[in-house]
Amino acid sequence: MQIETIKAYHVVQPFVDGPYRMSKGRVAGAFDAVIVAITSDSGLTGWGEMAPLGNFYSPAFAAGVRAGVIEIAPHLLGHDPRALASIGRLMDTVFKGHPYIKSALDMGCSDLAARAADIPLVTLLGGRESETAELYKVVTHGTVDAMAALAKRIVKDGFHRLQVKVGGNVHDDIERVTAVADSVPKGTVIFCDANAGWTPYQARQFTDATRAIDYTFEQPCTTIDECMSVRRSLDKPMVLDESVASLDDMLDIHRKGAADGLTLKISRLGGVTKTRQIRDLAVDLGFMITVEDTGGAEIDTSAMAHLSLSTPEERRLHAIAFHEWVTVRTASNKPPVSGSRMGIPDGPGLGIDVVPDLLGAPFFEVGS
């Protein structure tokens, strides 16, 4: 089996609920996605997707993905897409760094490898641990009243897990989180996510003032050492996200005891294959795990779901349904969501039946 053609599409995916807001004025109105179709000489096609959340969330930007895919894709022609480790090494050899550019290509090869075996991708990733994963919803940054009202509405809709965006003015965020916690039933799971927006000084101010609230603290500061300095005086669990960009980062966090859980972003790590590698070792080391990504629609959400459901349930935190965030469709089906839980589509590979006509014309095509 060999890769015969690769096509790449540019699809802008506006948000259903309008602009997505984080602290410090960071805002995005859409996912700016690249979708790749990798077709083998057997006639099978695998699909991959990568979409950054603006230019501020991760060290990735949409124009960089489009330019990088054009550089890497020709080197993959003639190679076996099922040899995922070999494909990864080849991409790292011909294009130094920039893992986010390689993510959609690795995802497409992973989908194609599972389709060739006529099995769902979850089976290749270690096997299905449960039928569905619990979803969380994001309480985006805003006024105290707006955030409390949004949290109340999310819980009314049947969700029990909230990620509350903080990382702005400390005293204002203390007021925001207090209002959110007061507006939802006791037992609602709350994560306070600063997205690396604070100094250790600011993070300690926040944690000291919110000791009476039950929450998990997510990525308060930029570096692992800064987060570790906050953790020393913290009486709550800590999860790191932006700090996990490689296997070395994960091992460094483990050595230092800097976190209880990790959020693994597929594109930040370079694709499904490397995410699975880091996920498996992190599970064995005792971390709680969330597998998600920076954005996308049905294809990327399905990849997140397959990785989530192949994570042991006792080590899994939660998941997110990005395809419900956007106004556009890229496929005739989608990861099934029932209430506050998400499963995976039926069928081999990712299980997603992409409709090429929904993607527009490819901006790049290589191969016969």
333/214 same-domain check? yes
**Contact (Cβ atoms closer than 8 angstroms) between residue 281 and residue 269:** no
**pLDDT-derived band at 220, boundaries 50, 70, 90:** very high
156/284 same-domain check? yes
Give every CB contact of residue 167 below 8 A, 6+ residues apart in sequence: 22, 23, 24, 141, 173, 193, 194, 195, 196, 197, 198, 220
Report pLDDT for 54: 79
**What is residue 319's DSSP assignment?**
B
Over residues 337-354, mean pLDDT? 98
Q: Does 23 score more than 80 pLDDT?
A: no
**pLDDT-derived band at 61, boundaries 50, 70, 90:** confident
Q: What is the chain's mean pLDDT, rounded?
A: 96
Report pLDDT for 26: 84
**pLDDT-derived band at 285, boundaries 50, 70, 90:** very high
80/224 same-domain check? no
Report pLDDT for 68: 97
Confirm whether 265 is a catalytic residue. Answer: yes
Does residue 12 sit in helix, strand or coil?
Answer: strand
Pick the catalytic residue: 7, 102, 137, 265? 265
Pick the catalytic residue: 7, 165, 274, 334? 165
**Contact (Cβ atoms closer than 8 angstroms) between residue 272 and residue 251:** no
153/83 same-domain check? no
CATH for 187: 3.20.20.120
Over residues 260-264, mean pLDDT? 98
114/151 same-domain check? no
**Position 98 in a domain:** yes
Helix-strand-coil split of the chain, %, nearest 5: 40, 20, 40
63/147 same-domain check? no
**pLDDT-derived band at 21, boundaries 50, 70, 90:** confident
**Position 311 in a domain:** yes
pLDDT tens for residues 72-131? 999 999 999 999 999 999 999 999 999 999 999 999 999 999 999 999 999 999 999 999
Q: Which domain holds residue 128?
A: 123-342
28/111 same-domain check? yes
Among candidates 33, 44, 64, which has minimal Cα distance to 108?
44
Q: Does 55 score more than 90 pLDDT?
A: no
43/169 same-domain check? no
Report pLDDT for 297: 97
**Chain Cα centroid distance, residue 103:** 11
DSSP assignment of 325-352 equals TBS---BS----EETTEE---SSSBT--
Q: What is the spatial distance between Cα 147 and Cα 222, in angstroms, rounded to a whole number? A: 24
Give every CB contact of residue 244 below 8 A, 6+ residues apart in sequence: 250, 253, 262, 263, 264, 265, 268, 269, 278
CATH for 51: 3.30.390.10
71/138 same-domain check? no
106/155 same-domain check? no
pLDDT tens for residues 163-190? 999 999 999 999 999 999 999 999 999 9
Q: What is the pTM of this model?
A: 0.96
Q: How many domains does the chain have?
A: 2
pLDDT tens for residues 126-151? 999 999 999 999 999 999 999 999 99
178/281 same-domain check? yes
Does residue 17 sit in helix, strand or coil?
Answer: coil
Question: 17-31, 242-256, 292-306: lowest mean pLDDT where?
Answer: 17-31
**Position 349 in a domain:** no
171/297 same-domain check? yes
